[in-house]
Amino acid sequence: MSILTVCWSIVIAASFILAFQHFIIWFYNRQTKANLLFSFTALGAALSALFELLQLHASSIEVYHQVVRFGHIPIFILLVSLVWFVDIYFGTARRWLTILITSLWTITLIINFVAENSLTFQSISEIQRIALPWGEEFSIPIGTANNWKYIADIASLLILIFITDASIKLWRTSNKRRSLIVGGSMIFFIVLAGIHTPLVDEGVIKTPYMISFAFLGILIAMSLELLSDVIKIPSLSKKILSQELRWEKFLNNMQVAIMEVDRDAKISYVNPFYIKFFGLNNKEIIGKHYSEFLSETEKEDVTKFAESTNEGETIPMLRLKMTGADGTQKIVDWQSVKIFNSDGEWTSTLSVGIDITTQQNAFKEILELKEQLEKENIVLREEILYPKDNHEILGNSSVIKYSLSRVQQVAPTDTTILLEGETGVGKELFARLIHNESNRKNNPLITVNCAVIPANLLESELFGHERGAFTGADSKRTGRFENANGATIFLDEIGELPLELQSKLLRVLEEGEFERLGSNKTIKVDVRIITATNRKLRDEVELGNFREDLFYRINTYPISIPPLRKRIEDIPILVETFVGRFARKLGKNITEISKPTMEMLKNYNWPGNIRELRNVIERGVVSTKGKKLKLIDKLNGSQINSNNSESFKTLEKLEFDYIKEVLEACSHKIEGENGAAEILNLHPNTLRSKIKKLDIKKNK
């Protein structure tokens, strides 16, 4: 057997082994798509090497033609599988480029079988035998190259770009090892194959094709990387088992009764304390319906509780009088939580029962910890909803500068502030700015929207309640004012506060004290209060909907936030900021905003103010495909901003003025992108008819 045959046989065998190995891995774990794609890649490499070996020993032109033609199939399998492997395994590739490369290689495969000879050669005049230094010979074709083969060269170049791009992205995601091993080996293969193969095809160098040897390196590198993931599985399984054992040990040693029931209310687990507490045998409990171990009174309590429990994740606490193993009546508080699987399906309920008759002190400590956690959760929730880096207020208009100067004057004090402004002007941002500029900035800003909390729950939300204060009050709860002690509280939409709570709020403002709902104990707090409203509170006072004394108390230092229609000069900077923000978020490159588009935005009345502007820009960025922003919202002419008090115009006059204004903004461009017809949502011929009918002429 010749040396060439031995070498190529080794490559073929190694590639087949790797293909079979990763196919088996995929077969036992169908979720590992990367292993299936890699097995196809290795199979393509093995078959490609086999056809290369046949080319080396081809003795006639006809045989060489057939080997080259059918040898294109494994090359197609190899490279297409490789591209999709990178797409799936790296997770950083561009899917459109994957589809493009697949399409190009599909075209080359079709051309290869449609062409008279093959994709590689237009014709072959002779088969030349080349002797190697040790005397062995191999076949080299002498002929004319097929011009269509350059499609394959373009596809190979795209693969190089594709893999380089994916590797760079992988490097940036801190997965540098995988990027170097897999990406580096693939780039080396593409470069080598892309240089050596064309030189052999053109007859510049006379050596056997080396694609298979170049690809063997990438197969080994990728295989080792994939196998490293498989090797990690036993280690991860051990960690999971260790955690499960730790969790089981924790439950078994807890000195509280723990029970787990499935969706059918059958007991699937109880801990040793439960068995000891109720004096039952483990075999007598597991698999039985939990109601079998309750008295008739307990069953009634549980039935009422089950009927009142909603379908949400949280289950209220249940208190039962139960008979213990020693025959004594014990009061047990059951706290339950629903357990969900990885698909989000509710599988069981875990209940923890605490004997509060003998563990009052421990239970009080748990309640205190719970209150502390609630306070921390409120702070964290406010930080999530109103992050500190979101307080930027943009604008250079005189009206916004005046409002900001008012903020700078009052922020360092503890003066009560009333923020007045229409919906969407940014009252929340002003409240955040005031807090961040105050002496209380190191403490949280507690936010309460009085308009979204039901009136019957608002008092509990603001001032807290004691356990048993009302139906459903199963535990003591601290209110927002108590959580804001030493900090700042922002009462948004203060005009929605019910009259019965306004007197209680006035007392907090005047004396800094209040009582929880259901308690006579006075609580003193040091809270800075910022309020906001989009109503005219003076009118509400006259209508009897708002207390006059409370109005004068919160109106100590009013700050009026101007609507967007009164700060038109700020619209360009707001638009550019929103476009840049949303473009980065969506991965788009939008660098142009046409003058007609900006003029349209500046002339619109903006009843929803900055919030409406932000939403319009976001929708525009989502729909824009090129570099120039294109809005999908048609801002109606009836809402165009007007700063004069002229009498109403006729419909024809309004149409004349509006069309003329749009034409001048577009430099009288009618058709095409950003033309007047596109802005007016009219057919160009319809617009020309209207121009002629209304006798609109271009200004000289």
Averaged confidence pLDDT in the chain: 78
Question: Looking at beta carbons, which pairs linking 382-388 to residues 24 or more positions away fall under 8 Å?
Answer: 382/444, 382/445, 382/446, 382/447, 383/444, 385/447, 386/428, 386/432, 386/445, 386/447, 388/432, 388/436
**Residue for token pair 């040793």:** 272
Of 643 and 465, the one with more pLDDT: 465
* pLDDT of 528 above 90: yes
Token duo for residue 73: 């199939």
What's the confidence (pLDDT) of residue 148? 80
* pLDDT of 497 above 80: yes
Q: 387 pLDDT band (50/70/90 cuts)?
A: very low
**Distance (Å, rounded) from C-alpha 520 to C-alpha 465?**
11
653-684 CB burial, b ≥16 within 10 A, e <16: eebbeebbbbbebbebebeeebbbbbbbebee
* pLDDT of 231 above 60: no
Q: 59 pLDDT band (50/70/90 cuts)?
A: confident
Per-residue pLDDT, averaged over 392-415, amounts to: 89
* Correct CATH for 380-556 of 3.40.50.300, 3.40.640.10, 3.30.360.10, 3.40.50.1980: 3.40.50.300
Lowest mean pLDDT segment, chosen from 274-278, 504-508, 512-516: 274-278
Domain with CATH 3.30.450.20 in the chain: 254-358
Q: 226 pLDDT band (50/70/90 cuts)?
A: low
Per-residue pLDDT, averaged over 212-233, amounts to: 63
> Cβ–Cβ contacts within 10 Å for residue 691, how many?
19
Domain with CATH 1.10.8.60 in the chain: 563-639
Of 493 and 341, the one with more pLDDT: 493
Lowest mean pLDDT segment, chosen from 30-39, 301-310, 326-335, 467-476: 301-310
Q: 384 pLDDT band (50/70/90 cuts)?
A: very low
**Distance (Å, rounded) from C-alpha 211 to C-alpha 192?**
8
Lowest mean pLDDT segment, chosen from 301-315, 344-358, 490-504: 301-315
Per-residue pLDDT, averaged over 291-312, amounts to: 65
CB 55 within 8 A of CB 71: yes
**Distance (Å, rounded) from C-alpha 231 to C-alpha 291?**
47
Token duo for residue 280: 């039952």
Closest by alpha carbon to 323, among 347, 344, 296, 341?
296
Among the residues of 445-559, which ranges form H helices?
455-463, 480-483, 499-511, 537-543, 548-554
**Distance (Å, rounded) from C-alpha 428 to C-alpha 446?**
11
Q: 374 pLDDT band (50/70/90 cuts)?
A: low
Of 479 and 382, the one with more pLDDT: 479
- The pair phi, psi for residue 518, each rounded to 5°, is 90, 10
Q: 79 pLDDT band (50/70/90 cuts)?
A: confident
Q: 696 pLDDT band (50/70/90 cuts)?
A: confident
Q: 138 pLDDT band (50/70/90 cuts)?
A: confident
**Distance (Å, rounded) from C-alpha 293 to C-alpha 394?**
66
CATH no. for 644-700:
1.10.10
Per-residue pLDDT, averaged over 183-190, amounts to: 67
What's the confidence (pLDDT) of residue 640? 44
* Helices 149-172 + 95-114 axis angle, to 10: 160
**391: Cβ–Cβ under 8 A, 6 or more apart, which residues?**
429, 432, 433, 436
* pLDDT of 529 above 90: yes
Q: 174 pLDDT band (50/70/90 cuts)?
A: low
Lowest mean pLDDT segment, chosen from 102-111, 178-187, 229-238, 614-623: 229-238
Strand order in the sheet with 557-560: 445-449, 488-492, 528-533, 417-420, 557-560
**Residue for token pair 């079988």:** 113
**603: Cβ–Cβ under 8 A, 6 or more apart, which residues?**
635, 640, 641
**347: Cβ–Cβ under 8 A, 6 or more apart, which residues?**
262, 263, 339, 340, 341
Lowest mean pLDDT segment, chosen from 85-89, 303-307, 406-410, 670-674: 303-307
At 124 the three-state DSSP class reads strand
CA separation, residue 53 to residues 5, 19, 43, 66, 627 (Å): 7, 19, 15, 13, 51
pLDDT tens-place string over residues 623-638: 888 889 988 887 764 3
Question: Looking at beta carbons, which pairs linking 94-99 to residues 24 or more positions away fall under 8 Å?
Answer: 94/162, 94/165, 97/158, 97/161, 97/162, 97/165, 98/162
Architecture label for domain 563-639: Orthogonal Bundle (1.10)
Per-residue pLDDT, averaged over 489-496, amounts to: 91
CA separation, residue 600 to residues 110, 654, 662 (Å): 52, 16, 9
pLDDT tens-place string over residues 444-455: 899 998 888 887
Q: 389 pLDDT band (50/70/90 cuts)?
A: very low
Question: What is the separation of C-alpha 652 from the centre of its chain, rounded to a whole number of angstroms?
Answer: 49
**Distance (Å, rounded) from C-alpha 428 to C-alpha 206?**
75
* pLDDT of 575 above 90: yes
* pLDDT of 644 above 60: no
Domain with CATH 3.40.50.300 in the chain: 380-556
What's the confidence (pLDDT) of residue 111? 85
What's the confidence (pLDDT) of residue 646? 43
What's the confidence (pLDDT) of residue 606? 92
CA separation, residue 667 to residues 448, 597, 601 (Å): 50, 13, 18
What's the confidence (pLDDT) of residue 647? 44
Q: What is the CA radius of gyration of the chain?
A: 38
**Distance (Å, rounded) from C-alpha 371 to C-alpha 377?**
10
Of 220 and 656, the one with more pLDDT: 656
* pLDDT of 487 above 80: yes
CA separation, residue 446 to residues 22, 410, 419, 561, 564 (Å): 56, 19, 16, 21, 27
Closest by alpha carbon to 551, among 563, 537, 539?
537
User: What is the CB-side half-sphere exposure of residue 169 using CA atoms within 13 A?
Assistant: 14
**Distance (Å, rounded) from C-alpha 421 to C-alpha 563?**
7
Per-residue pLDDT, averaged over 493-505, amounts to: 88
CB 461 within 8 A of CB 453: yes
Q: List % helix, strand, coil for the chain (3-state, nearest 5).
A: 55, 15, 30
DSSP 345: -
**Distance (Å, rounded) from C-alpha 380 to C-alpha 160?**
47
What's the confidence (pLDDT) of residue 386? 40
Among the residues of 254-359, which ranges form H helices?
272-278, 282-285, 296-308
- pTM value? 0.41
224-258 CB burial, b ≥16 within 10 A, e <16: ebbeeeeeeeeeeeeeeeeeeeeeeeebeeeebbb
Highest mean pLDDT among 31-40, 164-173, 374-383, 595-604: 595-604
* Correct CATH for 3-227 of 2.40.30, 2.40.160, 1.20.1070, 3.40.50: 1.20.1070
User: What is the CB-side half-sphere exposure of residue 9 using CA atoms within 13 A?
Assistant: 6
Token duo for residue 524: 């003193």
Per-residue pLDDT, averaged over 14-34, amounts to: 78
Which sign does the torsion angle of CA 208, 214, 215, 217 carry?
Answer: positive
Q: 641 pLDDT band (50/70/90 cuts)?
A: very low
* pLDDT of 142 above 60: yes
Q: With helix as H, strand as E and coil as C, how does 547-587 read?
A: CHHHHHHHCCEEEECCCHHHCHHHHHHHHHHHHHHHHHHHC
What's the confidence (pLDDT) of residue 673? 79
Q: Which CATH class is domain 254-358?
A: alpha beta
Percentage of the residues of the chain whose pLDDT score is greater than 90: 14
What's the confidence (pLDDT) of residue 235? 56
Q: 279 pLDDT band (50/70/90 cuts)?
A: confident
Token duo for residue 129: 């035998």
563-591 CB burial, b ≥16 within 10 A, e <16: bbbebbebbeebbeebbeebbeeeebebe
Of 550 and 265, the one with more pLDDT: 550
The two beta strands, 417-420 and 557-560, are parallel
Query: Does an H or E element contain 223, and which?
Result: helix 211-253
